[in-house]
Amino acid sequence: MGLSLQQNFKLGVLGGGQLGRMLIQSGIDFNIPFTILDPDAHAPCASLAEFHHGKLTDYDTVMKFGSACDIITIEIENVSTAALKALAKQGKKVFPQPEVIELIQDKRIQKKFYHDNGIPTAEFILTENAEDVKRNAGFLPAVNKLGREGYDGRGVQILRTEADLPKAFNAPGLLEKLIDFEKEISVIVARNERGEVKTFPAVEMVFHPVHNLVEYLFSPASISNEISAEADRLAQKIILDLNMVGLLAVEMFVTKDGRVLVNEIAPRPHNSGHQTIEANTTSQYEQHLRAILNLPLGDTRIVLPSAMVNLLGEPGYEGLAQYQGFDEVVKLPGVHVHLYGKRSTKPFRKMGHVTIVDNDVERLKKKVNFVKETLKVIA
Ligand SMILES: Nc1ncnc2c1ncn2[C@@H]1O[C@H](COP(=O)(O)OP(=O)(O)O)[C@@H](O)[C@H]1O
Ligand SMILES: [Mg+2]
């Protein structure tokens, strides 16, 4: 074992949101002592571990926090990689490595990485500002993405025709061909320090037929063996090309003509892996811990088909969160509710998620609809 779990060591996590919270939940089984840094004094992890209140992007804050840790990891990418590099130089174990976080922080560098390594991705051009986007009207229909600090759809917009050009982002970003995809899938892959690599079976995002929003996630993805093998191969290739240690989520498009294109990657536990807590032998959180502690990677097999529904703040409500329909939902067999412990709700804020397991896929879908209609976060 790379690091004795009996020894007095500390695992530091940059970020104390829901991903950190579920990482702590899993770490309890391995008796792991956590220390957390987050800019919000009421972050979901605040009362669950040793907690430090401070900015993740501030060099001195991260240096001071990291100096008291043995291993440092992240649950959000927007952190001071300069501090993480200095900590790694001092001999701290930093996983994922700061260089990998830096590459992923900027979608422009991410795209260049795919291009340079022969990883299939949507055709793109880099743009410096809105004028630049407008000059490339011939590239439409396209998706305009901000290079940095756009997440959960905030840095992404579709430019279908020239009439959409006035809303182009006026900051370094990129234009990507609009892909008329058949499905969006995700593969989570892990690699430990000794080089062992393991993937989870692909999951599929199911879109709302009218609103074009991810409605729920389904595991396993309903794809052919060939597509599944290609998605698996790409996820493994990316973590190896990055030489990364830790957990990596790989979001991909399956095109109507059967190609798999990489959309984006995230070097940490991911929304598309929540269902592994109930539905796979090893959860993504445990796998992340195994990878960064250089333990043997866990069995990723699916125990039962599952669906995952994000529990978002109901539009029209803002304030102290209340959970309507909780009893009715937890009464259903195979339904597990996760609340993230956020005190206040606002429209579309991620407040929790629900995992539903069922051997019968039709029944599973019925339960998804019941959960979506019944459980609401209001104020
Ligand atoms: N090139 C593209 N063609 C079609 N849809 C896209 C494209 N790029 C992104 N999207 C859609 O926008 C969503 C968000 O884009 P993504 O790059 O994953 O940004 P975020 O960081 O917000 O998750 C994707 O999940 C997908 O549904
Ligand atoms: Mg995404």
Task: Compute the distance from residue 150 Cα to the ligand 1 centre, in Å.
Answer: 11
- Assess whether the previous peptide bond of 315 is cis (omega < 30° from 0): no
Tell me the average pLDDT across 249-278.
97
Q: Is the CB of 143 under 6 A from ligand 1?
A: yes
Q: Is the CB of 142 under 6 A from ligand 1?
A: no
Q: Is the CB of 151 under 6 A from ligand 1?
A: yes
Summarize pLDDT for 9-67 with one digit per residue, the tens: 999 999 999 999 999 999 999 999 999 999 999 999 999 999 999 999 999 999 999 99
Residues forming a β-bridge with 260: 254
Q: Which of 211, 261, 264 to mutate to test the pocket of ligand 1 (most atoms within 8 A of CB)?
A: 264
Q: What percent of the chain has pLDDT over 90?
A: 93
Residue 200 pLDDT: 98
Atom of ligand 1 nearest to the CA of 153: 22
Atom of ligand 1 nearest to the CA of 251: 18
Task: Compute the distance from residue 272 Cα to the ligand 2 centre, in Å.
Answer: 10
Query: Quick check: 255 pLDDT over 70?
Result: yes
Residue 8 pLDDT: 76
Give the Cβ contact number of residue 4 at 10 Å: 9
Q: What is the 3-state secondary structure (H, E, C) of the chain?
A: CCCCCCCCCCEEEECCCHHHHHHHHHHHHHCCCEEEEECCCCCCCCCCCEEEECCCCCHHHHHHHHHCCCEEEECCCCCCHHHHHHHHHCCCEECCCHHHHHHHHEHHHHHHHHHHCCCCECCEEEECCHHHHHHCHHHCCEEEEECECCCCCCCEEEECCHHHHHHCCCCCEEEEECCCEEEEEEEEEEECCCCCEEECCCEEEEECCCCCCEEEEEECCCCCHHHHHHHHHHHHHHHHHHCCCEEEEEEEEEECCCCEEEEEEECCCCHHHCCHHHHECCCHHHHHHHHHCCCCCCCCCECCCEEEEEEEECCCCCEECEEECHHHHHCCCCEEEEECCCCEECCCCEEEEEEEECCCHHHHHHHHHHHHHHCEEEC
Phi first, then psi: what are they for 81, rounded to 5°?
-75, -25
Residues forming a β-bridge with 204: 185, 218
Across the chain, mean pLDDT equals: 95
Q: Is the CB of 217 under 6 A from ligand 1?
A: no
Atom of ligand 1 nearest to the CA of 152: 22
Length of the chain: 379
Return the residue whose CA atom lies nearest to atom 21 of ligand 1: 151
Contact 98, 84 (CB under 8 A): yes
Contact 378, 314 (CB under 8 A): yes
Query: Quick check: 210 pLDDT over 90?
Result: no
Summarize pLDDT for 218-227 with one digit per residue, the tens: 999 999 999 9
Which of 319, 331, 318, 320 is CA-nearest to residue 375? 331
Which of 20, 110, 21, 12 is CA-nearest to residue 70? 12
Task: Compute the distance from residue 306 Cα to the ligand 2 centre, in Å.
Answer: 21
Summarize pLDDT for 158-197 with one digit per residue, the tens: 999 999 999 999 999 999 999 999 999 999 999 999 999 9
Summarize pLDDT for 74-100 with one digit per residue, the tens: 999 999 999 999 999 999 999 999 999
Return the residue whose CA atom lies nearest to atom 26 of ligand 1: 184
Q: Is the CB of 278 under 6 A from ligand 1?
A: no
Summarize pLDDT for 101-111 with one digit per residue, the tens: 999 999 999 99
Tell me the average pLDDT across 276-283.
98
Contact 190, 246 (CB under 8 A): yes
Report residue 151's pLDDT band, with 50, 70 and 90 as the boundaries: low
Query: Quick check: 1 pLDDT over 70?
Result: no
Q: Is the CB of 87 under 6 A from ligand 1?
A: no
Contact 374, 352 (CB under 8 A): no
Atom of ligand 1 nearest to the CA of 145: 17
Q: Which listed ligand is nearest to 149 at the C-alpha? A: 1
Residue 4 pLDDT: 47
Residue 239 pLDDT: 98
Q: Which of 263, 271, 272, 350 to mutate to test the pocket of ligand 1 (most atoms within 8 A of CB)?
A: 263
Task: Compute the distance from residue 179 Cα to the ligand 2 centre, in Å.
Answer: 14
pTM: 0.96
Task: Compute the distance from residue 184 Cα to the ligand 2 centre, in Å.
Answer: 10
**Is the sign of the CA dihedral 353, 15, 173, 102 positive or negative?**
negative
Query: Quick check: 213 pLDDT over 80?
Result: no
Return the residue whose CA atom lies nearest to atom 1 of ligand 1: 178
